[in-house]
Structure 1
Amino acid sequence: MRRDLWENTIMTDPALPINVFHPTFRPGCSLRLHWHEHFELIYVESGEVVYQIGGRPFPTKPGDMLFVNSGELHSATSLHPNEPFTVYAFVFNPSMLGLKEPHIVGLVAPYTNGLSAIANRIEQTDPFYPLLKQIAMQLADEFEQKRHGFELAVRSYCQLLFTWLSREFTVKQRSDTEMNAFRTKTDQFKELLTLLESDMTERVTVEQAASFVHLSPYHFCRMFKRMTGQTLVQYMNLNRVNKAEYLLKNTSMSVTDIAAEVGCSSINSFSKLFRQLRGLSPRDMRKGQPI
């Protein structure tokens, strides 16, 4: 049943896995019960609405801010059936926080694996509330306006939000024994991520990666997805395209050589993958990019 409630949140750009929703719910409308692997920050702009998060009710008024941890069931219903309500919902995948950098994995992974959790309500009277609201509204503006370099700004604001939320609003922390055991496993994943980054020409299978961190393929896939927000294949493909984009913009290497450098078996498969994740061909990416 819980799998039936899973929501495949729309992310328009795989390289920037975030969406900012700004809906107005008409009188009588509600948000169905669902869950997703992403983090979600909610800001109530107008109206009064009650959110159910993890089985607990959170009545809200304009200006209230809520947080939904990865995997938490949540829904929303207007407190007044004849009145609409408007919210901002910032839904972002943990990979937005820079999980391709192994040292960040140890900071974020406890929150994606349920070992730590952030408070569901951020009170308006809390001294950090004004800062969080300011960052959230700046993030919304960058995402909506899409000015030059907005991708970098959006990612930076996500990192700031998570930093302050995890630093000031963590309410769940497992025992030292549990955390130490988890950190040991996380360190093994950091080594694996470093290995994947260092040589993209090496074709690493799920079985090989699972063996590296001493897990079965099934448990490895679950833990890798929780830690990075992506499957192993998605993670490696995004790394390939990121590196290829850098090489296209900053070197005079041919597209064929770049394809080989990032571990693609053919120029056709490379171009298809690049277009899938960037929306244009490698050659179009290079146009207008002087070396």
Structure 2
Amino acid sequence: MLNFCKIVRQEVRDLDKSPMLREEMDMPDPLFPMKIHRNRFGKSGQTTFPNHWHAHLEFIHVMEGEARFTCNAEQYDAKPGDIFVFNSTDLHYGITLSENVFYYAIIIDPVLLHSRTVDAVETKYIAPIASSRLRFANKVSDDPLVRESLTSLIEEFFGEAFGYELAVKSWIYRLLTALLRHHVAVQFSHEEYSSRLRKLERIDPVLRHIEEHYSRKLSVEELAAVAKMSRYHFGRTFKELTDRSVTDYINFVRVNRSEFDLRHSDKTITEIALTHGFHDVYYFSRLFKSYKGVPPTALRKTN
């Protein structure tokens, strides 16, 4: 038991010492490291957030409209009432599927959850969650306790009544209890999590590079150089983390950006294709249909 406690303490210290985690500690109140964003989007086809990952736990509660969230290459359609959980190091991306989309995003730094002492709660539950060795299912539907916990948490947070921090933290623990009992997806060893974290740190600049330069030709060699990896090792690592080849991922970004212009601009389909990196409009049309299920001409007509 003593050795196990030492391991848990070391994992917590490792999390606290990571420079990457400190850089992402963008919280309004450092003494109460959590925040809630109200997110509203008026148009269909808008990117709600680019593909990214972070060290925090994030919960999304969809209130209005429809959207699609991609997490570690798995796609989930979202409607009012749906709840999404993005674990630490989950790669996630969002796009609206309708007008007037509104959701809450609750972001919690794992530091908020830790106990002062290494007790049973810390060792059995909080340390594995904080170190992302224990991971929750990304989509939760029709769970009254999870919904009640999130709704009450949000009300307490924005109400700011005396003692609201205590109430919010209690609802977070109740939320985690419901997730632990019914929505655990996988458990990683400490070594598996550490390996994934190292790989994501190498790939993260590549994801940003693609978002900024997707409209021009991007070679695997160029992206491997950004990651400072060999071409072979980069290709394998990228596929492992995103479940897509490099070419497939770039096309995925291009098609999503093209969809927004098809819905909300007066550009011709040829102009849109060229703007977003496609030099053959027929290839663009075939590829767009393979990703979206309809050709760009049909999507343009519906808008």
- 2:114/2:127 contact within 8 Å kept: no
Question: Paired residue for 2:244?
Answer: none
Cα 1:119/1:7, change in 2 over 3 Å: farther
What does 1:24-39 correspond to in 2, within 5 Å? 24-27=40-43, 28-30=45-47, 31-39=49-57
Deviation at 1:52, TM superposition (A): 0.9
Whole-angstrom CA distance in 2 between matches of 1:57 and 1:7:
29
The answer as to 2:175 corresponding to 1:161 is: yes
What does 1:96-245 correspond to in 2, within 5 Å? 96-103=112-119, 104-106=121-123, 107-124=125-142, 129-174=143-188
The answer as to 2:59 corresponding to 1:45 is: no
Question: Paired residue for 2:100?
Answer: 84
Contiguous gaps of at least 5 residues in structure 1: 183-291
Question: Paired residue for 1:55?
Answer: 73
Question: Paired residue for 1:12?
Answer: 28
Whole-angstrom CA distance in 2 between matches of 1:53 and 1:65:
13
Cα deviation code 1:206-248 (max 9, x no counterpart)? xxxxxxxxxxxxxxxxxxxxxxxxxxxxxxxxxxxxxxxxxxx
Whole-angstrom CA distance in 2 between matches of 1:165 and 1:151:
21
Contiguous gaps of at least 5 residues in structure 2: 1-18, 194-303
Deviation at 1:20, TM superposition (A): 1.1
- 2:70/2:93 contact within 8 Å kept: yes
Cα 1:86/1:7, change in 2 over 3 Å: farther
Q: Secondary structure of 1:23's match?
A: strand
Whole-angstrom CA distance in 2 between matches of 1:172 and 1:94:
18
Q: Secondary structure of 2:35's match?
A: strand
Whole-angstrom CA distance in 1 between matches of 2:115 and 2:109:
10
For 1:57, give the aligned amino acid.
Q
- 1:36/1:71 contact within 8 Å kept: yes
- 2:129/2:135 contact within 8 Å kept: yes
Q: Secondary structure of 1:147's match?
A: coil
Whole-angstrom CA distance in 1 between matches of 2:23 and 2:50:
10
Deviation at 1:9, TM superposition (A): 6.0
Q: What do you get for the CA RMSD once the two structures are aligned?
A: 2.8
Q: Secondary structure of 1:102's match?
A: coil
Q: Secondary structure of 2:172's match?
A: helix
TM-score by length of 1: 0.53
- 1:46/1:87 contact within 8 Å kept: yes
Deviation at 1:72, TM superposition (A): 0.8
- 2:62/2:104 contact within 8 Å kept: yes
Cα deviation code 1:52-109 (max 9, x no counterpart)? 11221111111111111111111110123xx131001111111222333322332222
Q: Secondary structure of 2:161's match?
A: coil
Whole-angstrom CA distance in 2 between matches of 1:161 and 1:120:
14
Q: Secondary structure of 2:154's match?
A: helix
Whole-angstrom CA distance in 1 between matches of 2:104 and 2:67:
13
TM-score by length of 2: 0.51
- 1:10/1:19 contact within 8 Å kept: no
- 1:96/1:158 contact within 8 Å kept: no
Q: Secondary structure of 2:63's match?
A: strand
Corresponding residue pairs, total: 170
